[in-house]
Structure 1
């Protein structure tokens, strides 16, 4: 049976017979008893294995925001575009809307690619995603070695 909290401080206006010292003693005793009770009855939440990961996945699925930060993605796109278009002596400029659309499409592609690769891992009766699962997923999709990425 949990302990009941000690009586709280009686205000001086309610009991004029108490002086300030006695009032402070009552206040100290009441707060320590409440602290003791609250730490004793506190329940610590333990997650089962994998429960926290599922909670995070649900959170990411609900969120409409993008997974990759905008500024690093913009730097990457501008770097790749400048490397590609300097060979042809052209300058390339991006509107913010075009960069956000490109980021959304690329994130969607990556998520679906990882879903396919994970399905390959599950088919092999594994939970861990390996590079050979990614190679198989890209081979099934027919997008093998388009970008020059080789899965070993």
Structure 2
């Protein structure tokens, strides 16, 4: 297939159809004449700056960074005081509202054990849900994955 060659700084200025061998010769002449080459694009990075100058991350990179951060850490994920309030509220409901004088008290070690156990259960639930997501060949964790794991385990 014949092509028309555009002129480059006076070399190969003919607008006649050229062959492949002539193209190689013309390109060699251009390189010999030190023709300007387009600047190479910088490598893609995981972040860039928007018009306000604020650093913006590409979709997913910040989530992966947070995942690595939490996987490295050994601390508790739920803040202590909200968890304590939930435990006290649940214990109040279990003892019954009819007996306001009966109030259960918990040691800090008992609350910490409850928190560690509950976080371990939630993390295991999410891990198994991710396995069901992978088995379904999806990239998004859905509510139905968590419901399936809970149904298989028997704790609806």
TM-score range, shorter-chain basis?
A: 0.5 to 0.7
**Counterpart pick for 1:74 among 78, 81, 84:** 84
Whether 1:96 aligns to 2:115 is: no
Q: C-alpha separation between the residues in 1 aligned to 2:65 and 2:143?
A: 26
Task: Name the one with the larger helix percent.
Answer: 1
Question: Normalization by structure 2: what TM-score?
Answer: 0.58
- Relative contact order (alpha carbons < 8 A, sep ≥ 6): 1 or 2 greater? 1
Aligned alpha-carbon RMSD (Å): 2.0
Q: Which has the higher mean CA deviation after the structures are superposed, 64-73 or 84-93?
A: 84-93
Cα deviation for residue 48 of structure 1 reads: 4.8
**Counterpart pick for 1:64 among 59, 68, 74:** 74
Question: Normalization by structure 1: what TM-score?
Answer: 0.60
Q: C-alpha separation between the residues in 2 aligned to 1:142 and 1:98?
A: 26
Aligned residue pair count: 101
Shift of the 45–142 alpha-carbon distance from structure 1 to 2, 3 Å rule, reads: closer
Structure 2: give runs of 5+ residues left out of the alignment: 1-44, 48-56
Residue 134 (structure 1) aligns with: 146
Q: Which has the higher mean CA deviation after the structures are superposed, 77-86 or 46-55?
A: 46-55
Residue 107 (structure 1) aligns with: 119
Shift of the 135–88 alpha-carbon distance from structure 1 to 2, 3 Å rule, reads: same
Residue 86 (structure 1) aligns with: 96
Shift of the 134–97 alpha-carbon distance from structure 1 to 2, 3 Å rule, reads: same
3-state SS of paired residue (2:85): helix
Cα deviation for residue 60 of structure 1 reads: 0.5
